[in-house]
Structure formats: C-alpha cells, structure tokens
Structure 1
Amino acid sequence: MDTAGQDNVAEKPEIMERTGEEKEKQEIMERTGEEKEKQEIMERTGEEKEKQEIMERTGEEKEKQEIMERTGEEKEKQEIMERTGEEKEKQEIMERTGEEKEKQETSDTCREEKGNEPEEKQETSDTAGEEKEDQNQERRERAGDKVDQNQEETRDTRTGEDQGENQEEAKQEPKCSPSAPDPPKTESEQKESPPKPTPTESTSLMHGGSEGRKMTAKLMLAVCTAVIGSLQFGYNTGVINAPQEVIEGFYNATWMSRYNEPISETTLTSLWSLSVAIFSVGGMVGSFSVGLFVNRFGRRNSMLLANILAFLAAILMGFSKLASSFEMLIIGRFVVGLYCGLTTGFVPMYVGEISPTSLRGALGTLHQLGVVIGILIAQIFGLKPIMGNESLWPLLLGCIFVPSILQCIVLPFCPESPRFLLINRNEEDKAKSVLKKLRGTTDVSSDLQEMKEESRQMMREKKVTIAELFRSPLYRQPIFIAIVLQLSQQLSGINAVFYYSTMIFQKAQVEQPVYATIGAGIVNTAFTVVSLFVVERAGRRTLHLIGLAGMAGCAILMTIALALLESVSGMSYLSIVAIFGFVAFFEIGPGPIPWFIVAELFSQGPRPAAIAVAGLSNWTSNFIVGMGFQYVEKLCGAYVFIIFIILLLIFFVFTYFKVPETRGRTFDEIASEFRGGESQMVKQAEELNTFGHADDSQV
C-alpha cells in the first residue's frame, strides 16, 4: 500500500508537468490562431481599403467626366448665346437702318411741305413711338409663355423708357430745311449707329450693303479671270453653228480624196451630228472628274491645269484641214469638251466660295454672262467676211488658245479659295490673309466663323462620295433638285435654238439668217446683264419660275409661227420675236440660276461630288439634244417645240413646289434646311434668349 501510494505521489508531479505543457501548447495554439485571425482581418481590411480606394478613384473619374460634359454643354450654350447675340445685333442694326431711312424720308417730305413742319415732326415722333411699341409688344408676346408677370412689367418699364427716348429724339430733330445740316452725334451714338447704306441698286450690288461686303479689285480680278473658262465654254458651244456649210464642204472634199466618190447625205448628217454632239460627250467625262481635281489640287490650280486640254484641242482642230483629217476635228471637239466640262464645275465653285453672301448670286451670274459673251463672239467671228470662210475656219476653231494663255498669265496672281484653305487644308492663317484681300477689310471674323461652323459640320459627317449622295437621306433631296434644275436648262430647248438657229431662221424665210442669229446672241447677252442686277433682289427661285413660264409662252408662239409660215403672211417676223423672247426668258432664269444654285445647295464636304453629278446630267441632256434634235425636227416638222413646251411646264411645277430660295443665306444655313436641324437650332437659341431675359429681369 505504501509503495503504491508513493508511486502515485511520484506520478502526480509528472502528470502536472504534462498538463502544464499541454496548456502551454494549447495557449500557443490559441495565440497562433488569434494571430492568424488578426492577419486575416488585416488582409481583409487591406482589400477593403483597396476596394474603397478604387471606388473613390472611379467616383473621381465619374465626377471629372461629368464636369467635362457640363463644360461641353456650357460651351455649346455659350456658342448658341454668341450666335443669338450676333443675330440680335444684326436685327438692331437693321432696325436702326430702317429708322434712319424713315427719318430721311420724313426729312424729304418736310422739304416739300415747308409750312407743316411742327405737325410732321409730331406725326413722325408718334409713328416712331408706335412702331417701337408694336415691336416691343411682339417680343413680349413671343416670350409670354416662358416669362412671368414680373418680367413683363420690367419690359413694359423699358418700353416706356424707349418711347420717352424716341419722343425726346423727335423733339431734338432740326426743322425741315433744304440746307439744314444733320445734328452732331454723341460718342455713344457714333459707336452704335452703322454706316448709312447708299440707296441706289448699283451701289447695293457693288457693296453688298455693309462693310466687308463690297466689290474689291482683288475679288473682281479673281472672278473675271475665272470667268475666262466660262467664255471658252460659250465660244465652243456656238462656234460650230455659223460655218456649218463650209465644214461640211471640207468633210465632202476629204471623203472624195480618200474614196473617189462624194459623201452620202446620211453619212454627212451623221458626221456633222457627231461633230456637234461629241463636244457634249467630252463635257460629260470632264464634269464627272471635277471632284478629283479640286480636292487634290485646289480650285485655282485646277483651272490652270485644265488649260493643257485647251491647248491640245486648239492644235487638233486648227491643223485638221492641213492634215486633211476630219477625225482630228472630231477628236479636238471631244478634247475641248473635256476642258469645258471641267471649267463648268471649277468656275461656279470657285466664284461661289470667294464671294461674300450678299454678292454671291450676282457674281455667280457672271459665269453665265461669260458663256453668252463667248457664244456672241463665236457668232460674230463665224461670219464669212471675218473667219467663217473656207480658208480661215481652222483658225476660227483653233483660236481658243488665246484666252487660255491670258488665263495662265493672270490666274497665278489670284488667290486660292479661302474655304478650300481653311476647311480642306486647315490653313487658317492663309485663309484669313486671303479673306482680308478679297473683302478689303481687316475684320473677317464673321466669314471665318461661318467657315469654321461649316468645317465642324463637315467633320461630323463622313466623306461624301457620289454614291453616298443618292444613298443618304441628307443629300437625296438636294441632289435631286440639282439634277432637275440642270435638266431644266438643257431640255428647255435653248441648245436646239443655238445649235440650229441659222436653219430655223432659214425656214422662217429670214433674208439674213446669220445676222438674225447674232441678234439672238445680243439679246442673250443683254438679258444676262439684267439677271445680274436683279438676282439678289428678286431671288433665284422667282427668276427661275419667270424664265420657265416665259419660255413656254414663246415656244407656243414659235410653234404657231412655223406651222402657219407658208399660209399666213408675217409669220416669219413672229418667229423672230418668239426666238428672241425665248432667249431673253432663258437668260432671266434657267440660264444662270442652275449653275450657281447647285453650289449653294451643298456644304463644303459634298459640294464637289454634287457639282460633278449635276454637271454630268447637264452635259448628258446637252448631248441628247445636240444629237437628236435634227432627227426629231425632220420627224415632227414645225411642231418640234411642243416637246419642249411640255418639259418646260413640268419643270415649272417642280420648281414651284420643291426648289427653296437661297438668296441671302449662308451655305450652312441652306444645307441645314435639308438636314432638318435648322428649326432645332432656332428653338435652342430662342430658349436661351428667353433665359437671358429672365436673368436680366431678376437682376
């Protein structure tokens, strides 16, 4: 027992030691577990911190993005406000100009009626106050849905002050007297009042009604030099008419020398029709290539390069008789057609892009004036005593090298199109320098702003190809209008008159048909000058409608005269009057309008492709008329112009319902009408304008 108890006593300390060791191990394990938990907690905390930092960074980026978006919106609003402010300034200037005109008219009336001086002053004052009150009332009604009653009271107060100022100004006006000078203006009045426009139309044409819109020497030099290409087009259109008999004799002589037999009438007719119509085939190819040249070389340099074709054509046609080759003459007509097809695209584009908006229509008409002057020169040079004879007709066809040399000498001194420099080449400094020379002023900010706006719109659009013009709904309507306008020019019957005018006058029993044709050319030129002076006043659409209607009426008279020629005396004179009237109405509208209105319907991006398509349609219809009229005339006889009457009426209806008025509008404004965005821009501007009035009233 004692031994067992001793053993138990000895074992207890060992057990205690083991238990202590186990406790220590357990404590160590617990500590290790706690450390692991702490480490895991630390790791989780670190991950959460990283996530939080990422979230914070993401939030900061979102805030930055929102700030950038807000900044962009504010910039857009600021631009719209600036545009609205510019429009307000223009409107105020127009109102001030109107008031000055009324004062001037009142002054003139006072000079005539000296005895009623006080009464007329009081009436003028009352009228000015009433007009001012009406204008302010209209403004209040426009903003009435958006501005509260307090704003209306504020405007009423301002209106009362304006009326008081008008009454005081009316009282301060000097008494009517022929020698009474105008009262001296204060500094504020001198700053605010714009320069008085000259009331004559010629001055309006030359100056455009405002500073920076006048006709400068640099602008006139550039336009006239470019129009040399138009003159070449007109000359080569009309030169083939007068010497027809002489050239047909050359064809017969050449055929005899080759085949020892005279040429048949059918072959001669075919060769002559080909000589006339191949010119249009070359024009079709040339006009379709306009975009390739103007986008790569620029407008001015493209006109320079095109003269190479004119020199080549002059050599081919000028030496065709010496080489006894009518093939050279026909190929030369094709080459000069290539040249004219290019120039009919280059010239309207260049003139339209360098001209200020207020003169764009008048200067655009100079292209057609160059064409008709070229036709008239060709008719005069084609007279037998001059060059329309057997020995000099090659010189008649080959002398086109002379104006080409002149253009090559002068054109390098003319500037490149500022729109091409800024929008296509992004050379703002050069564009600004060119604009200063063309406008004759250092302030060209409005032109630059318009071009930049057009450039921004162009960058939003992808590159416009010819196929895209027909696929995109943005361009489908304007390109359709452009094509129909070109068809209305060529299918009106004018080329039938010019190509075969001598033959028509012969059938009308005119004793000197060649001189009658020259008379038609003079009428052609005179009425183009008339169109030059009225196009900015009457508008493009109105003149085109008048021209189409007048041509239809004259074509009816021409048909009656030719049908009754043999049975009724005096019909030959009626036919001459009808042809002259037909030509006159053509030059009022369908002659000049289609060429430059096509450039106005499109912005800078799609313009080259659109002009190429429009030119192709013009030359294609020209070819159809030139090739087919002689055969149709033999088939229909005196009633051939009934076809043109029907076409003219169709074109009149189309123009009335589809063609917009482009007078006094920028390229971007016209293009925005087809984009459908113009109304939205105006709406935004009016809303911001209303907000501005609200802020003013609250202040």
Structure 2
Amino acid sequence: MSSSKSFNSSYIIGISFISALGGYLFGFDFAVISGALPFLRTQFALTPVWEGFLTGSLALGCIVGCLLAGNIADKYGRKPGLIIAALIFAVSSIGIAFSASLTYFLILRFAAGIGVGMASMLCPMYIAEVSPAEVRGRNVAINQLTVVIGILITNLVNYFLANHGADSWRWMFGLGAVPSAIFLIGVTWLPESPRWLMKSGQPDKARVILNKIGSPDFAESTFKAVEKSLMGSTKQSYAMVFEKAVRPAVVVGITLAVFQQFCGINVVFNYTSTIFESVGANLNRQLFETVAIGVVNLVFTLLAMWQVDKLGRRPLMLWGALGLSVLYIILAFLLQNHFPAGLVSIFVLLAISTYAISLAPVTWVLISEIFPNKIRGVASSVAIVSLWLAYFILVFTFPILAKILGAYGPFYLYAGICFAGFLFVKTKVKETKGQTLEELEDNLIRH
C-alpha cells in the first residue's frame, strides 16, 4: 500500500472533478423533471400512467447507455465513452426543449437517458481506477457531489423559471446544453485510465500516467499489482460475470444497486410536487421544497465525502437503511393524516439527509470497488443496469400507487424494503475502505 504522501493529490482531484462533471449532467436530467412535471401534465394532458412513464423514460435510456458504456469502455477506453456521453447530453437537452408532441419528448428523454446511463457507469469507474486506495472513497464520492450540485442548481433554476409562463419547461430542459458543453471540453483533457491501458496492451502509456498520479514507488507498486491481477485475463464477456469465483461480488453489487432505488427516496426527488400537493401546498411552495431538498442533499453529501474513508462504507450503509425505515413510517403517518406542509417538510428533509450521507454515495463507491479488474467493465454495467431498471419500476409505479393508496401509502412499503436492506448489508457486505482494488480482488478470490 502507498503512503499518503506518495501521490499527486491536486492532479488526482483535478481529473476526478472533470470526470465527475458527468455526474452534474446526471443530476440535471434527474432533477429537471421535478420542476417541469406541473407544466408537462398540462402540456401533454398526462394520466398517472403516462406521468410515470414520462418520468421513467430516462431510466429506460439509462439501461441502454450502461450496456453501450460497458462495451465502449472495454474496447476503446473510458475516455471515448465519456466524450460520447457529453455529446448525447448536449443534443438531447436542446431537442427536448423544442418538443412539439409527447412522442417526440419521450424519444428525446430516452436519448438523454443513454447519456446519463453512460456517465453513471463510466464516471465512478474512471475515478476509482485513477485514485489511490487511501482517497478512493472520497474521490468516487466527488461524482455523487456533482450529481447533488446538478440537482440543486437545476431546482433553483426551475424555481426562478416557473413564473415565465406555460413554456417555462422548455427553458428548464434547454439550459442543459451549457454544462454539457463544459463537460465535453473538460473530458478532452483527461488521461486514459492506466488500468485500461495495461489491460489493452499499452503498459508504457500506463506508466506515464501512473507517474503523473504519484511517486515512482507508487507508480511501480501499482503497475505490478495491476499486472498481477490481469494475468490470464481474457476478453470480457457477460458470461464471466456469473462465474462462481466472482458471483458473491456480483450478487452484492446488483442487490445494493436495486436497493439504492427501491429504498424509495427518488420518489421524493421526482414527485416533490405530488407529495406536497397532497397536503395542500401551492405550486410556489412545491417548487420551494425542491430547492430545500437540493440544499440539504448537498450539505449531507459533503459530510459523506468527509467520512466515507474514515467511518467506512458498511457503518454508513447500515445507519442509512435503518434510519430511512423509521423516517418513512413517520412521513407516511403525517401524509395520511394531512399534517401541515411545514411538518411534512421536516421529515422529508431528514429522509433526504439520511440518504445523502449513506446510500446515495456509498452504493456508487462500493460498485466501483468490489469487482475484479478483469470484469470491472461488464460487472459494473450489469449492476448499474439493475439500478436503472429498479429506478424505472419505482418512478413508474409511484403515481399509480399514489392514486390507489393515497400519496402516503407507498412510504409504508419503502419502509419495509429499507429494513430488509439493513439486514442484507449486515449479513453480506464487507468493509472495503483503505484497500487497493487489487487487495480487494485477492480477498474475494480467497473467500
């Protein structure tokens, strides 16, 4: 293991932040729907089923994006995949702004999802592969930080645009072209992942980048560890993901990915207006709540970044799952009995803060860490495809469940899922902090 003084912190943080701009765009596309929905319901006369499908159409694109990214990342490298994701973001943002019909809107929202799916897989993977073990958790969490900043800024912009008439939603989506262009320019400066370069038979280029990341000792020890982990490596295929030796890691990765969505918090992010409308809040109050959610989300994500390499992944996941379970029961009770919006807001924000310091960043950190070098690309794509499929199911079903059960009903269900997630983490998830990716791989093989 490298000493904490043996690597170039400013360089690593710099390239991590540039890569993590993909997370900002992920946050934008994820949050923009919350402010736009009240307008889109009128514009396209949405039923609960179509509202759910319109919100979830992003996730269907994400699934395609993950599958594409897995193949592009393994064949051509991490960097070309990030460039393609940036281009898709830019084109789809402008296209959605000019949508004339629901069909056209859905096709372009699906296309935006392809960009989100690619970024959601490639950004954490890239950061994990260029980061030394001691700071890997914090650096991968930078991606979650930019997601959260994207959500907050988008919610603020939505709030200020809301009074500009029925076509406000067009500006909400169209402004996504600006961060897309910044991301595209930034990605052209990134080095390729040294681990990918070694895997694709370019060890000299890998050495050059490792020497930029850290001292000669750090570069040499990392080079040898990666070389050893790649011995006997063959071309990646999805069949390799289900081999007996790696199956435990894959099961944990998929389950954590699905749990991060089925825990229910993205219902709060995407349907803030529906939840607060059920307790009598007007449109201005509904959009204000999205901003409050964004601020709390940012503050507690910063706390998570500070603590993920100190407290460790496992304690944060356990605390988050149990905390959400309790908070949802209280929130469901308040909604069911039409308590004032102010009181509902307190428990919504407590749930957001709990998620932001635990399940939100730590799930992405674990998915970027637990798979062996040989199959990291395809295994990550399988886990993240599972995550986006779960997200689609969650946001598609909420308007339908809310119509049948009331806005409060689904939260009792999410409370039960969170408790089941707590038990899974307690029995199946091992701590990964402070270990190199190669050490984690050795431990997996031994067990």
State TM-score, norm by structure 2.
0.94
Q: Distance in 2 between matches of 1:528 and 1:213?
A: 25
Cα shift readout 1:142-168 (whole Å, capped 9, x = no counterpart): xxxxxxxxxxxxxxxxxxxxxxxxxxx
Pick one of 357, 380, 387 that aligns with 1:588: 357
> What residue is the counterpart of 1:445 in the other structure?
220
* Contact map agreement 1:221 1:414 (CA 8 A) in 2: no
Cα shift readout 1:585-644 (whole Å, capped 9, x = no counterpart): 101111011112112111211111111111111000100011111111122222321110
Cα shift readout 1:374-433 (whole Å, capped 9, x = no counterpart): 1112211112546864234212212222222112222222211111112x1222221111
> What residue is the counterpart of 1:196 in the other structure?
none
Pick one of 276, 279, 283 that aligns with 2:62: 283
* Contact map agreement 1:557 1:574 (CA 8 A) in 2: no
Please tell me whether Structure 1 or Structure 2 has the larger radius of gyration of its CA atoms.
1
TM-superposed deviation, 1:441: 6.1
Pick one of 402, 422, 435 that aligns with 2:210: 435
TM-superposed deviation, 1:674: 2.3
TM-superposed deviation, 1:520: 1.2
For 1:379-394, list aligned pairs within 5 A: 379-385=155-161, 389-394=165-170
For 1:460-539, list aligned pairs within 5 A: 461-470=233-242, 472-510=243-281, 512-539=285-312
> What residue is the counterpart of 2:52 in the other structure?
273
* Contact map agreement 2:279 2:341 (CA 8 A) in 1: yes
> What residue is the counterpart of 1:426 in the other structure?
201
Q: Distance in 2 between matches of 1:244 and 1:620?
A: 21
* Contact map agreement 2:25 2:176 (CA 8 A) in 1: yes
* Contact map agreement 1:354 1:418 (CA 8 A) in 2: yes
* Contact map agreement 1:294 1:608 (CA 8 A) in 2: yes
For 1:47-126, list aligned pairs within 5 A: none
Q: Distance in 2 between matches of 1:407 and 1:226?
A: 8
Structure of higher RCO (CA pairs closer than 8 Å, 6+ residues apart):
2
Q: Distance in 2 between matches of 1:299 and 1:388?
A: 40
* Alpha carbons of structure 1 residues 630 and 428: separation in structure 2 relative to 1, 3 Å: same
Give the AA of the match of 2:220.
S
* Contact map agreement 1:602 1:610 (CA 8 A) in 2: yes
* CA-atom RMSD in angstroms: 2.0
* Contact map agreement 1:316 1:331 (CA 8 A) in 2: no
Asked if residue 327 in structure 1 is aligned to residue 103 in structure 2, the reply is yes
> What residue is the counterpart of 1:618 in the other structure?
387
What secondary structure sits across from 1:640 in the alignment?
helix
> What residue is the counterpart of 2:182 in the other structure?
406
Q: Distance in 1 between matches of 2:247 and 2:216?
A: 38
> What residue is the counterpart of 1:397 in the other structure?
173
> What residue is the counterpart of 1:187 in the other structure?
none
- In percent, how many aligned pairs have the same letter? 26
Cα shift readout 1:534-588 (whole Å, capped 9, x = no counterpart): 00000011111111111111111101211222xxxx6543321111111111011
Q: Distance in 2 between matches of 1:335 and 1:270?
A: 20
Give the AA of the match of 1:674.
L
> What residue is the counterpart of 1:318 in the other structure?
97
* Contact map agreement 1:226 1:347 (CA 8 A) in 2: yes
Q: How many pairs align?
A: 444
For 1:549-698, list aligned pairs within 5 A: 549-565=322-338, 571-637=340-406, 638-676=408-446
Give the AA of the match of 2:445.
R
* Alpha carbons of structure 1 residues 529 and 282: separation in structure 2 relative to 1, 3 Å: same
For 1:6-45, list aligned pairs within 5 A: none
> What residue is the counterpart of 1:358 in the other structure?
134
Q: Distance in 1 between matches of 2:389 and 2:303?
A: 29
Cα shift readout 1:632-687 (whole Å, capped 9, x = no counterpart): 1122222321110110011100100100110011112212222226xxxxxxxxxx
* Contact map agreement 1:601 1:671 (CA 8 A) in 2: yes
What secondary structure sits across from 2:192 in the alignment?
coil
* Contact map agreement 1:290 1:345 (CA 8 A) in 2: yes
* Alpha carbons of structure 1 residues 238 and 389: separation in structure 2 relative to 1, 3 Å: farther
Pick one of 154, 157, 175 that aligns with 1:378: 154
* Alpha carbons of structure 1 residues 318 and 451: separation in structure 2 relative to 1, 3 Å: same
Q: Distance in 2 between matches of 1:279 and 1:587?
A: 21
State TM-score, norm by structure 1.
0.61
* Alpha carbons of structure 1 residues 639 and 275: separation in structure 2 relative to 1, 3 Å: closer
Q: Distance in 2 between matches of 1:210 and 1:288?
A: 36
Give the AA of the match of 2:65.
G
* Contact map agreement 1:539 1:663 (CA 8 A) in 2: yes
TM-superposed deviation, 1:510: 4.1
What secondary structure sits across from 2:355 in the alignment?
helix
* Contact map agreement 1:212 1:444 (CA 8 A) in 2: no
What secondary structure sits across from 2:5 in the alignment?
coil
Give the AA of the match of 1:211.
K
Q: Distance in 2 between matches of 1:607 and 1:353?
A: 10
What secondary structure sits across from 1:474 in the alignment?
coil
